[in-house]
């Protein structure tokens, strides 16, 4: 980051963190594998390294969600990046259901050794159990609902299953825990905090929306200048700071307060909500580290 960036204060309320962790710990004992949902636009920032400890040696599937909003070329690079690390990946748009149909096959592929071992012991009928995990607002509930579909059968009470806990039969012999585990996002840098705020995983303080939007303008200018040109009809000046770019965009939009002064606050809100709605095009905020080979 250069000096054009302004420090952003992010309001952070850890709240139910301990409860969420306890829930994950308890359920972990009952599942055969975990599926970690991340935002395809920020696969690095929307992961929480705690999952390594929480999941232990359980098999894992990484789900890159919101592919409809992410840059397809960058998503392809992430797919290769995780593949090289031996991590199984599924790409989805949980909102429309794209990619969700491949979920049972992806789960079975990750669990193929487990399935073979169960069959060898004559326990081939024992259902496999899966838990969805992810940071807030990444699409966990939407994903579970899509996987469950209208035909979803609630597997219901089973011996040894805590009362109230529901398993959804997603496929023959494949059960999904209906309550996802909530992981806390970690942000050890300003940039990660901003990426999380831009994708609505955390909330920036109302007053700081302008700073968030101003810094986002700088990221857009560096990575997707065409998006600014197309949406806001001006070529971003390389010398200007983010607030000045917001001002230019606001002027183009006609967001004026008095005597020609631009309503930057309004422009900031518009920029953030237009990114959220995908109106700036498909924009990824993070690319994987360059391949070493």
Residues that bind ligand G4P (CB under 6 A): 65-66, 68-69, 93-95, 134, 136-142
Question: Minimum Å distance from CB 64 to ligand G4P?
Answer: 9
Question: Minimum Å distance from CB 228 to ligand G4P?
Answer: 21
Cβ within 8 Å of residue 196, ≥6 positions away = 42, 45, 46, 135, 185, 187, 202
Q: Which is nearer to ligand G4P, 176 or 262 (CB)?
A: 176
Q: Which is nearer to ligand G4P, 11 or 235 (CB)?
A: 11
Q: Which is nearer to ligand G4P, 111 or 280 (CB)?
A: 280
> Cα(253)–Cα(208) distance, rounded to whole angstroms?
21
Q: What six digits make up the tokens of 194?
A: 């901003």
Question: Minimum Å distance from CB 90 to ligand G4P?
Answer: 12
Cα separation values, 289 from 80, 82, 196, 252, 253, Å: 11, 11, 19, 36, 37
Q: Which is nearer to ligand G4P, 51 or 94 (CB)?
A: 94
Question: Minimum Å distance from CB 141 to ligand G4P?
Answer: 3
Q: Which is nearer to ligand G4P, 137 or 241 (CB)?
A: 137
Q: Which is nearer to ligand G4P, 85 or 96 (CB)?
A: 96
Continuous H helices in the chain: 17-28, 50-55, 72-84, 103-110, 112-120, 140-148, 190-198, 209-223, 225-232, 242-253, 264-276
Largest CA distance in the chain: 80
Question: Minimum Å distance from CB 97 to ligand G4P?
Answer: 9
Closest CA to 24 of 141, 177, 145, 138: 177
Question: Minimum Å distance from CB 152 to ligand G4P?
Answer: 16
Query: In degrees rounded to 5, what are phi and psi of residue 230?
Result: -70, -45
Q: What six digits make up the tokens of 119?
A: 């069959």
Cα separation values, 179 from 40, 117, 137, 160, 219, Å: 22, 27, 14, 17, 35
Question: Minimum Å distance from CB 256 to ligand G4P?
Answer: 28
**Cβ-contact 210, 201 below 8 angstroms:** no
Q: Which is nearer to ligand G4P, 135 or 213 (CB)?
A: 135
Cβ within 8 Å of residue 7, ≥6 positions away = 190, 211
Q: Which is nearer to ligand G4P, 145 or 190 (CB)?
A: 145
Question: Minimum Å distance from CB 39 to ligand G4P?
Answer: 9
Cα separation values, 6 from 85, 107, 204, 218, 241, Å: 35, 43, 14, 11, 9
**Which residue's Cβ has the minimum distance to ligand G4P?**
139
């Amino acid at each position: 980051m250069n000096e054009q960036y302004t420090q952003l204060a992010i309001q952070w309320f850890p709240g139910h963190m301990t409860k969420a962790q306890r829930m994950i710990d308890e359920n972990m004992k009952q599942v055969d594998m975990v599926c970690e949902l991340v935002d395809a636009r920020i696969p690095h920032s929307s992961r929480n390294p705690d999952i390594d400890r929480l999941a232990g040696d359980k098999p894992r599937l990484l789900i890159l969600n919101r592919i409809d909003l992410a840059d397809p070329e960058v998503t392809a690079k992430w797919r290769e990046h995780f593949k090289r690390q031996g991590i199984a990946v599924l790409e989805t748009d949980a909102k429309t259901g794209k990619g969700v149909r491949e979920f049972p096959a992806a789960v079975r592929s990750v669990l193929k050794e487990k399935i073979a071992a169960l069959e060898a012991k004559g326990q081939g009928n024992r259902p496999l159990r899966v838990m969805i995990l992810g940071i807030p607002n990444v699409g966990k509930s939407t994903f579970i609902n899509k996987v469950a579909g209208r035909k979803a059968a609630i597997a219901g009470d089973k011996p040894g299953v805590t009362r109230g806990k529901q398993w959804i039969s997603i496929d023959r012999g494949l059960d999904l825990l209906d309550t996802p585990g909530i992981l806390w996002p970690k942000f050890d840098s300003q940039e990660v905090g901003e990426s999380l705020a831009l994708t609505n995983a955390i909330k920036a303080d109302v007053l700081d929306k302008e700073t968030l939007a101003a810094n986002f303008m700088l990221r857009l200018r560096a990575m997707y200048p065409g998006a600014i040109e197309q949406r806001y009809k001006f070529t971003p000046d390389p010398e200007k700071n983010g607030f000045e770019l917001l001002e230019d965009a606001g002027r183009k939009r006609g967001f004026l307060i008095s005597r020609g002064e631009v309503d930057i606050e309004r422009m900031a809100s518009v920029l953030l909500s237009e990114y959220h709605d995908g109106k700036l095009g498909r924009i990824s905020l993070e690319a994987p580290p360059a391949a070493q080979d």
